[in-house]
Amino acid sequence: MSRENEPFEETAGAEEDRVLSGTEKEIHVDANVSKCPTCGANLVYSPTLKKLHCEYCGGNVDIDLTDYAEEVPFDRLTHTYEDWSTETRIFACSNCGARTIVSRKDIAPVCPYCGAHNIVEQKDLVGLKPNAVLPFLIDAKTAAEKFKAWARRRFFAPRKYKKSAKAEKIRGNYFPAFTFDSDTFSSYNGRLGKYYTVTVRRNGKTYTEQRIRYFYISGTYSKFFNDVLIYANRNKDEKTMGKLLPFATDYAQKYNDDFIYGFGASQYEKEGTECWGEAQGKMREYVKNAILAQYTYDIIDSLNINMSFGRVTYKYMLLPVYIGHSKYRKKLYNFFVNGQNGNVAGKTPVSPVKVTALVLLGLLVVVGIGLLIYFFGD
Ligand SMILES: [Zn+2]
Ligand SMILES: [Zn+2]
């Protein structure tokens, strides 16, 4: 994707300026759409009802909510491949380049990032089929309210923006992620150091000196990790996405098309094996910190940890995220809302006045401290 780690911003006028070329007509699919049994309109998954819902006549169709996602042994990740393309299609936004996957039974979406309608179906394969999905629990209206409340609390945002920030074209979109379980066993050894002070007399004078007392450590550490989560898309910056956590991945359902009717999904950009490498890194970090937490030390001279990862399983999961944007002075600012717990992350405009004021305040403090030291320090 073209938005590598960049805060996504573009001029709001872009959508209106587009000229639809002959190949970029809006796409409507009539075959295989999941229809309302009463009125024949398209059904969508309703987060609040947990049913397939008809927005025209209000009819509902039950879906199976008792089928929880299962852990899959790790070797299946490298030895089997179930393609998702038979059930889904992939579209690319002509405006911002974002790629969105939708069910074949669904109508063509708008781009979740910029709201553009000219999205073009792609020929390339969608990729690996998920085996788990975490359904949306809050609806788009609630997500929009969560965004408004969040925007009001942004300290650096201009006051005018905070008062009028509105969620535009908010859309439920599943983010791909892998979760990994592993029963780990680690053995370790190393040398840590602790500071102490001594009083020495030299030439008739008394000095205090700092010394280091080294000590050797060794032992074992066992830890079972459950659902270590790694996002499988690259374009989101880690810090922003981290603010959406946690997702209650233990409640993931077995993947079923029903959950994505009326929603989109982002295509994964990292293979499962790459995500497993990242998950191992997280587990190693945890174990290292847990081992060190058992000791009182000031410096780490050496630490070797030999870690084995037993009984590795994974789930390739879709995570519920609302994507929307707000407009301010013709610019779009994307935000994300966790579709389970309503946590919000994203970008807002920044008030130059507030930033300048804070920088000046900072300078004043520095100058103030400098003057204090000048006049009262020895
Ligand atoms: Zn209906
Ligand atoms: Zn777009």
How many domains does the chain fold into?
Answer: 2
- pLDDT, position 216: 97
Q: Are residues 114 and 181 in the same domain?
A: yes
| Same domain for 283 and 136 | yes
Cα(47)–Cα(140) distance, rounded to whole angstroms? Answer: 9
pLDDT of residue 361 exceeding 80, the answer is: yes
Both 224 and 125 in a single domain?
A: yes
pLDDT of residue 27: 37
pLDDT of residue 5: 37
Residue 267 vs residues 37, 157, 215, 312: alpha-carbon distances, Å? 31, 32, 50, 24
Let me know whether 311 and 370 are in one domain: no
The answer on 276 and 187 residing in a single domain is yes
Compute, in angstroms, the gap from residue 61 CA to the centroid of ligand 1: 10
C-alpha 187/C-alpha 291 separation (Å) is 10
* Any domain includes 45: no
Within this chain, do residues 162 and 268 fall inside the same structural domain, yes or no? yes
Instruction: Extract the tokens encoding 340.
Output: 């389970």
Q: Say whether both 221 and 337 belong to one domain.
A: yes
Instruction: Compute the distance between CA of residue 61 and CA of residue 259 in angstroms, rounded to an integer.
Output: 12
E strand or H helix at 289, and its extent?
helix 272-292
Contacts of 342 (CB under 8 A, 6+ apart): 138, 142, 143, 146
pLDDT digits (tens, 9 = 90+) for 270-288: 889 999 999 999 999 999 9
Q: What range defines the domain where residue 363 resides?
A: 352-378
Cβ contact 45:258 at 8 Å: yes
The dihedral formed by the CA atoms of 361, 364, 369 and 373, expressed in degrees to the nearest 10:
180
Both 341 and 359 in one domain: the answer is no
Instruction: Answer whether residue 8 shows pLDDT above 80.
Output: no
96 and 190 in a single domain? The answer is: yes
Name the range with the highest mean pLDDT among 76-85, 239-248, 294-303.
294-303
Question: Residue 378: pLDDT band by 50, 70, 90 thresholds?
Answer: low
The secondary structure of 114-182 as a DSSP string is T--S-EEE--S---BPPSEE----S-HHHHHHHHHHHHHT-TTS-HHHHHH---EEEEEEEEEEEEEEE
Cα–ligand 2 centroid distance for 113 (angstroms): 5
Q: Is residue 222 part of a domain?
A: yes
Q: Are strands 132-133 and 299-328 parallel, antiparallel or unpaired?
A: parallel
Residue at 46 is within a domain: no
Residue 220 vs residues 77, 185, 273, 295: alpha-carbon distances, Å: 29, 7, 27, 14
118 Cα–ligand 1 center, Å? 27
Tokens encoding 194: 């602790």
Task: Report the candidate in 49, 231, 256, 226 with the shortest Cα–Cα distance to residue 133.
Answer: 256
Domain assignment present for residue 53? The answer is no
Among 334, 318, 320, smallest CA distance to 111 is for: 334
* 366 and 246 share one domain: no
Instruction: Round to whole Å and give the CA distance between 144 and 163.
Output: 14
Residue with tokens 């997500």: 143
Confirm whether 260 is domain-assigned: yes
Ligand 2: centre distance to CA 100 (Å) = 9
Q: Is residue 48 part of a domain?
A: no
Range of lowest pLDDT (2-6, 210-214, 272-276, 313-317): 2-6
366 shares a domain with 299: no
**159 CA to centre of ligand 2 in angstroms:** 28
Residue 32's pLDDT is what? Answer: 42
- Tell me how far CA of residue 31 lies from CA of 34, 147, 217, 317, in angstroms: 9, 36, 67, 27
Looking at residue 304, what is its pLDDT? Answer: 97
Q: How far is the CA of 109 from the centre of ligand 2 (A)?
A: 11
CB 41 within 8 A of CB 262: no
Please give the distance, rounded to the nearest whole angstrom, from the Cα atom of residue 42 to the centre of ligand 1: 8
Q: Evaluate whether residue 6 is within a structural domain.
A: no
Lowest model confidence (mean pLDDT) among 24-33, 40-49, 159-168, 238-247: 24-33
Ligand nearest to the CA of 60: 1
What tokens does 371 get?
Answer: 């003057």
Tell me the Cα Rg of the chain.
27
Q: Higher-confidence residue: 219 or 2?
A: 219
Ligand 1 centroid from CA 241, angstroms = 36
Name the 3-class secondary structure at 84.
Answer: coil
Residues 6 or more apart whose CB falls under 8 angstroms from that of 146 comprise 138, 337, 342, 343, 344
> What spacing in Å lies between the alpha carbon of 36 and ligand 1's midpoint?
5
Residues 181 and 225 in one domain: yes
Nearest ligand (C-alpha, residue 36): 1
Among 133, 366, 76, residue whose Cα is nearest residue 247: 133
Confirm whether 378 is domain-assigned. Answer: yes
Measured at the CA of 195, the angle between CA 190 and CA 199, to 5 degrees, comes to 145
Distance from residue 254's CA to the centre of ligand 1 (Å): 26
